[in-house]
Amino acid sequence: MSVASLKGRDLLSMADLSAEELQELLALAAELKAGKLPLRCQDKVLGLLFSKASTRTRVSFSVAMFQLGGQVLDLNASVTQVGRGEPTVDTARVLDRYLDVLAIRTFEQQELETFAHYAQIPVINALTDLEHPCQVLADLQTIQEEFGQLSGLTLTYVGDGNNMANSLLLGCALSGMNVRIAAPVNFEPDPAIVQQAKTIAGDRSEVLVTQDPELAAKGAQVLYTDVWASMGQENEAESRMPIFQPYQVNDQLLSLADPKAIVLHCLPAHRGEEITDAVLEGPQSRVWDEAENRLHAQKALLASILGATPLS
């Protein structure tokens, strides 16, 4: 395993990884979680530039960096010139002179890509409206822990074809998993990403987008969901409720999946909406393991990007 296989690289999309690099990252995350490979990124500084609210991403990145021996600067827009409209191109070139790596959580994918273009340091997508690759790293780690493999398994995502659906399409295709997205009309995942996932999957695995949640859930080893209205769409939440009600992950939908299926949710969850309390707290839920794995997967990502060294 090459700890520094991604040294100096950006992670803007799941598609920035090869299948081999993805497997290396997941293997490294498992080693770090088991405490078998202590690594250090001594004196390295991670900047967190978040324009959206965050619990798991902010805390897991911070703890991961501290555990690697580095430091974290929380660059909240309200206390930096970003909040007063400093151009992205200027901010990117200045932060490049101070930091070793920058994780950005914002709305437009284009803003993230602009940062990456103008900054020489590695830039990590900590969530945009288009993708959420760091979450999918933790998701795949959780699935691999449960089943011992990824290739050949089927993941079904039910709900809004949002950034999670987009990144799951790419991540599952890279790992050799079948991926099915069940979403209402006009709420499907990005067509370009669907095509990209199909190209990556080739003949190895299935990529399916359907409006039928029951068809998608049938025989799946993983049922996945997310909120019906993402950050920035709160004003649409009420109008979306009747549209998405048939896509709720509940006992009935879970009964169609593989008997050993697990349930995942990227959190925060709206209990009683996209997922019932009984399923979220039930024996097939792995949501809390999934949340923990944000720490281990992102620690592996930081260690690889920064070229961490093993403790002697």
The yes-or-no answer on residue 196 being catalytic is no
Cβ atoms of residues 271 and 206 within 8 Å = no
pLDDT digits (tens, 9 = 90+) for 131-151: 999 999 999 999 999 999 999
Tell me which of 23, 56, 58, 132 is the catalytic residue. Answer: 132
Residue 1 reports pLDDT greater than 60: no
In CATH, the number for domain 14-131+294-310 is 3.40.50.1370
Identify residue 213 by its one-letter amino acid code.
P
Q: Is the peptide bond before 38 cis (omega within 30 degrees of 0)?
A: no
Sheet holding 71-74, edge to edge: 71-74, 45-50, 101-105, 123-125
Task: Map out the domains of the chain as residue ranges.
Answer: 14-131+294-310, 135-290
Tell me which of 135, 196, 221, 248 is the catalytic residue. Answer: 135
Residue 225 phi/psi, 5-degree rounding, is -145, 170
pLDDT digits (tens, 9 = 90+) for 247-292: 999 999 999 999 999 999 999 999 999 999 999 999 999 999 999 9
Cβ atoms of residues 166 and 138 within 8 Å = no
Tell me which of 58, 105, 240, 296 is the catalytic residue. Answer: 105
Cα–Cα distance measured from residue 296 to residue 283, given in angstroms and rounded to the nearest whole number: 23
Please give the pLDDT value at position 312: 65
The yes-or-no answer on residue 251 being catalytic is no
pTM: 0.96
CATH architecture label of 135-290? 3-Layer(aba) Sandwich (3.40)
User: Nearest-CA neighbor of 155 among 130, 182, 194, 133?
Assistant: 182
pLDDT digits (tens, 9 = 90+) for 200-221: 999 999 999 999 999 999 999 9
Residue 231 reports pLDDT greater than 70: no
The yes-or-no answer on residue 134 being catalytic is no
Cβ atoms of residues 104 and 126 within 8 Å = yes
Which residues, at least 6 apart from 101, have a Cβ–Cβ distance to it below 8 Å? 44, 45, 46, 47, 121, 122, 123, 124, 302, 305, 306
Task: Please state, rounded to an integer, the average pLDDT across all residues of the chain.
Answer: 95
Let me know if the fold of 14-131+294-310 is the same as that of 135-290.
Answer: yes
